[in-house]
Amino acid sequence: MSAVNAVDSLPERIVRAAVKLFAGKGFHGTSMRAIAGAAGVSIGAIYHHFSSKDDVFLAILRQEYERRRVAVEELRAQGLPPREMVQRVARLHFELLGRHQDSVKILSHTLPREHPRLHRQLQALEEEFAGHVARLLEEGMRAGEIRECHAWTAAHALLGMARAVTARALGDDKLATELRQRGPEELAELAWRGLRP
Amino acid sequence: MSAVNAVDSLPERIVRAAVKLFAGKGFHGTSMRAIAGAAGVSIGAIYHHFSSKDDVFLAILRQEYERRRVAVEELRAQGLPPREMVQRVARLHFELLGRHQDSVKILSHTLPREHPRLHRQLQALEEEFAGHVARLLEEGMRAGEIRECHAWTAAHALLGMARAVTARALGDDKLATELRQRGPEELAELAWRGLRP
Amino acid sequence: MSAVNAVDSLPERIVRAAVKLFAGKGFHGTSMRAIAGAAGVSIGAIYHHFSSKDDVFLAILRQEYERRRVAVEELRAQGLPPREMVQRVARLHFELLGRHQDSVKILSHTLPREHPRLHRQLQALEEEFAGHVARLLEEGMRAGEIRECHAWTAAHALLGMARAVTARALGDDKLATELRQRGPEELAELAWRGLRP
Amino acid sequence: MSAVNAVDSLPERIVRAAVKLFAGKGFHGTSMRAIAGAAGVSIGAIYHHFSSKDDVFLAILRQEYERRRVAVEELRAQGLPPREMVQRVARLHFELLGRHQDSVKILSHTLPREHPRLHRQLQALEEEFAGHVARLLEEGMRAGEIRECHAWTAAHALLGMARAVTARALGDDKLATELRQRGPEELAELAWRGLRP
DNA sequence: CATGAATGAGACTTCATTCAT
DNA sequence: AATGAATGAAGTCTCATTCAT
């Protein structure tokens, strides 16, 4: 029993079930009862580990943005040439899409403005991530390897274009398939041409 | 009184109130009771003109995408050089932001996945708009004035970067102010450099 | 125009539409809007000729019980032997079923207890009709051609058995078909054997 | 308090309250709020035990038809002579009327055609019960102790006459009192004379 | 006579959350 | 730590009826 719980703690089970449901039916379309059922735990158990439904959602957001932060840290640590770096950031969403499709869906589609507290926290997480990218760009500019421009605009633009294309690529029609194949390279090219000196 | 009503039909009053509320509190954060109160009409009156809450939301979406469609039509009619065209599309969101801030907020923040019907219709509207842009780009490619690339990826990327930057520019902090000032030009430059031959 | 209205007055159109709808969807399942739509008139027009939805329903009930009253009057006027008379009353519902299926459905299935006023009036109409039958039976007893029994019990029993069998015969399955064929004779026989001296 | 609750579970309290209200005001005249109030529980508690208002109604119907099924089973088990059996079935409604007046009211007066699902289920329950009676009659015919006739017609007729008389006997006027006194015997006699060889 | 836009009470139902066990 | 029965506010929507035109 302890071995099982070690790889599959109760909070983890809850979050995993919640991610699937939020991705599929959205925040308001997912009830605590549904999460409890999908996770195979009681409703009370969820409230034992999370203070509210918002808190479950936030846990997911934090997890997801932590993944992005780590990815950017790694990029920076590798000391790649700016060109490579810009292109990799542009491709980042696609890579995460491959590994964490449900989480990406949540970020792409659900901005629950109806919860001021959630909304503020989500914005803070986005801002933090955009900040990492902006700093990357500023370093490139100082090194003369990225053209002079407004780093924050460029950072938000970079992330916005990536998000829009991955969001469209989530479907299962012909264009979605095409976007999943050509999207990463096209985006990388677009970003680099837009930012090179 | 009759003069006021003449320019201010009941459905218009309802939509105007709904836009404000949806933009401020989101779809689920806005109740029919609240819309009725803000519009100064009875709940029943809303249902006399719209078949459901979804229908009110859709009316707003259609109105907003109609504005975009018209804007793109006008661009094309002017026969501008591709460079100008690409830059104007990149600036489009900002121009609409100035005139219809609440509507832009709705488009930037609310994709109600919890309503399959709404979700599908919103995607269709987005797709249609992206299609207009993609066609614009393809014409530019045929004329050799835009570099060869995957038009649909570029179209979604163009719109995605514009949306992300305008969304961030909605706030009232220092960065938001900066983005509203420099965003349009920065975006236009980024887009053109990314797409020129 | 007057010629058309002569055979198809507005109140008649309304009642005819209402009968169909009440029979198919019940009293609460039928809205005034639906009646207006089916009759091809405005809602206001209905209120011009009937004081309320209840009033429309009552008009149908009165019409239907009038048919029954007339049928019993005719029976009595023919001075048939009691055997024949009892059997004909037993068959009465079936004959009306053939000609006025929707009205019979309403009487068989809808006793809107939720409307005290309607309920009382419907009971009064039923009572009046049962009274006609009871009197028929009492006359037969006085003539020694029907066995002595409690006429009102027998009258309600006679009508109740006929209603139950016709109600079941309204369906379209095998048993319903059988009941429509054999029901009238079976009922007539059952009634006569139960009541003959 | 625990002793009281032991014999009076929450679902039982809800059903008991609902029976009284449905019998007095009908299905549509009874709101969930009213049931909750009468049962002394919250509205949510009702939905915790029943999936819908229809479900509460169905629970009552099932309970009532179960009583009838048991009564007929017992009749058959006693191996009474057919005459006795037919007369007892004819009296059955009256006996149940004495013990469960409200439930009988519901069955006598409410056939909610407006709810297709409820309607179908009620018909199924009625059909099942009529089937028990029809089988009883067929056994009598095979034994030569009931005249040859269409068993299903006779079964529906038997139940229909009993229902009609008991329905009229529910009132508190002079005739209702008379029917409660003489009805059982009169019905029993009528049924036996109609069905004996 | 006729219209149909407007009313607003009230219906059923859902759901996040609590708490006694 | 865990359960799940119970709560009740709040949600969307329907509908008989009215009344200005």
Contact D156 C150 (CB under 8 A): no
Alpha-carbon distances of A14 from A45, A48, A107, A122, D104, rounded to whole Å? 9, 11, 19, 20, 49
Percent helix, percent strand, percent coil in chain C, to nearest 5: 80, 0, 20
Distance CA C149, CA C141 (A): 8
Cβ contacts of D170 within 8 Å, gap of 6 or more:
D97, D101, D104, D105, D108, D176
Of the residues B94, B117, B161, the best mutation for testing chain A's interface (the one with the most A CB atoms within 10 Å of its CB) is B161
Distance CA D18, CA B84 (A): 72
**Domain C1-50 matches domain C53-195 at the CATH topology level:** no
Reference B181, options B94, B104, B100; nearest CA is B94
Contact A161 B165 (CB under 8 A): no
B57 and B125 in contact (C-beta within 8 Å)? no
Distance D85 CA to E12 C1' (A): 45
**Which residues on D lie below 8 Å from C108 (Cβ)?**
111
Contact C28 D114 (CB under 8 A): yes
Contact A156 B178 (CB under 8 A): no
> Containing H/E element for A188?
helix A174-195
- pLDDT for D17-72, tens place per residue? 999 999 888 889 899 999 999 999 999 999 999 999 999 999 998 888 888 888 87
Give just the sign of the alpha carbon dihedral B61, B102, B87, A97: negative
pLDDT at residue D110 greater than cutoff 70: no
Distance CA C98, CA C107 (A): 14
Distance CA D132, CA D94 (A): 18
Here the tokens at position C39 are: 């009759």
* Adjacent-strand bridge partners of C110: D110
Average pLDDT over residues C155-183: 88
pLDDT at residue A112 greater than cutoff 90: no
Q: Which residue has the higher pLDDT, B170 or A44?
A: A44
Cβ contacts of C161 within 8 Å, gap of 6 or more:
C90, C187, C190, C191, D156, D157, D158, D160, D161, D164
**Which residues on A lie below 8 Å from B153 (Cβ)?**
165, 179, 182-183, 186-187, 190
Distance CA C158, CA B173 (A): 85
Distance D115 CA to E12 C1' (A): 14
Alpha-carbon distances of D48 from B76, B85, D193, rounded to whole Å? 60, 60, 51
Average pLDDT over residues D158-178: 88
Give the number of residues written for chain D: 197
- pLDDT for C20-73, tens place per residue? 999 888 888 899 999 999 999 999 999 999 999 999 999 998 888 888 888 878
Query: In D, residues 54-93, which contact C (CB 8 Å cutoff)?
Result: none
Nearest to A112 among B26, B152, B194 (CB): B26
Distance A31 CA to E15 C1' (A): 7
**D1-50: CATH architecture:** Orthogonal Bundle (1.10)
Q: What pLDDT, on the 0 to 100 scale, is given for residue C156?
A: 92
Q: Which fold has domain D53-195?
A: Tetracycline Repressor; domain 2 (1.10.357)
Q: Domain boundaries in chain C? A: 1-50, 53-195
- pLDDT for D73-89, tens place per residue? 887 788 777 777 778 87
Q: What pLDDT, on the 0 to 100 scale, is given for residue B3?
A: 39
D86 and D138 in contact (C-beta within 8 Å)? no
Average pLDDT over residues A176-196: 92
Distance CA C133, CA C161 (A): 14
Confidence grade of residue D112 (pLDDT, cut at 50, 70, 90): low
C-beta atoms surrounding D152 within 10 Å: 23
Distance CA A5, CA A10 (A): 7
Confidence grade of residue C111 (pLDDT, cut at 50, 70, 90): low
Please give, rounded to a whole number of angstroms, the shortest distance from the CA of B75 to a CA of chain A.
22
The b-or-e profile of D109-126 (16+ CB within 10 A means b, else e) is bbbbbbbeebeebbeebb
A100 and A39 in contact (C-beta within 8 Å)? no
**Residue B20: is it exposed, middle or buried by C-beta count within 10 angstroms (0-12/13-18/19+)?**
middle
Phi, psi of A108, deg, nearest 5:
-75, -30
pLDDT at residue A108 greater than cutoff 80: no
Geometric angle at alpha carbon D51, from D45 and D54, rounded to 5°: 110
Amino acid at D38: A
- pLDDT for A16-41, tens place per residue? 999 999 988 888 889 999 999 999 99
Instruction: Look up tokens 């614009």; give the residue.
Output: B136
Percent helix, percent strand, percent coil in chain A, to nearest 5: 80, 0, 20
Reference C64, options C16, C120, C31; nearest CA is C16
Average pLDDT over residues C181-197: 91
Contact D26 C112 (CB under 8 A): yes
Of the residues A156, A175, A189, A195, the best mutation for testing chain B's interface (the one with the most B CB atoms within 10 Å of its CB) is A156
Give the number of residues written for chain C: 197
**Which residues on D lie below 8 Å from C161 (Cβ)?**
156-158, 160-161, 164
Distance A35 CA to F4 C1' (A): 15
The C-alpha torsion from D107 through D113 and D116 to D122, rounded to 10°, is 20
Contact B178 A109 (CB under 8 A): no
Contact A178 B150 (CB under 8 A): yes
Here the tokens at position D18 are: 């609902």
In chain C, whose CA is at the least distance from the CA of D147?
Answer: C190
- pLDDT for B40-80, tens place per residue? 999 999 999 999 999 999 999 888 888 888 888 888 888 88
**Which residues on D lie below 8 Å from C183 (Cβ)?**
150, 153
Distance CA A61, CA A124 (A): 11
Mind giving me the DSSP string for B145-174? SS----HHHHHHHHHHHHHHHHHHHTS-SH
- pLDDT for D131-156, tens place per residue? 988 988 898 899 898 999 999 999 99
Q: What pLDDT, on the 0 to 100 scale, is given for residue A1?
A: 41
Geometric angle at alpha carbon C18, from D111 and C48, rounded to 5°: 130
In chain A, whose CA is at the least distance from the CA of B30?
Answer: A114
Nearest to C26 among D114, D179, D190 (CB): D114
Q: What pLDDT, on the 0 to 100 scale, is given for residue A5?
A: 47
pLDDT at residue D173 greater than cutoff 80: yes
Q: Which chains touch A (3 or more CB pairs under 8 A)?
A: B
Distance CA C77, CA C79 (A): 5
Reference D81, options D138, D143, D130; nearest CA is D143
Query: In B, residues 164-183, which contact A (CB 8 Å cutoff)?
Result: 164-165, 167-168, 175, 178-179, 182-183
Average pLDDT over residues D86-99: 77
Reference C162, options D3, D194, D21, B14; nearest CA is D194
Alpha helix segments (H runs only) across B53-173: 53-77, 82-99, 101-109, 116-142, 151-169
Average pLDDT over residues D112-117: 70
pTM of the model: 0.80
Q: Which residue has the higher pLDDT, D74 or A114?
A: D74
Cβ contacts of B67 within 8 Å, gap of 6 or more:
B96, B100, B103
pLDDT at residue B151 greater than cutoff 90: yes
Distance CA B166, CA C84 (A): 89
Nearest to A113 among B29, B164, B178 (CB): B29
> Containing H/E element for A133?
helix A116-142
Confidence grade of residue B14 (pLDDT, cut at 50, 70, 90): very high
What percentage of chain A has pLDDT greater than the value 90?
A: 41
Nearest to D150 among C130, C156, C182 (CB): C182
Q: What pLDDT, on the 0 to 100 scale, is given for residue A7?
A: 57
C-beta atoms surrounding D153 within 10 Å: 27
Closest nt to C43 (CA→C1')? E4
Cβ contacts of D91 within 8 Å, gap of 6 or more:
D162, D184, D187, D188
Here the tokens at position C12 are: 């008649």
Cβ contacts of D104 within 8 Å, gap of 6 or more:
D64, D93, D96, D97, D166, D170
- Cα B123 → chain centroid: 12
Here the tokens at position C74 are: 């005719």
Closest nt to C31 (CA→C1')? F15
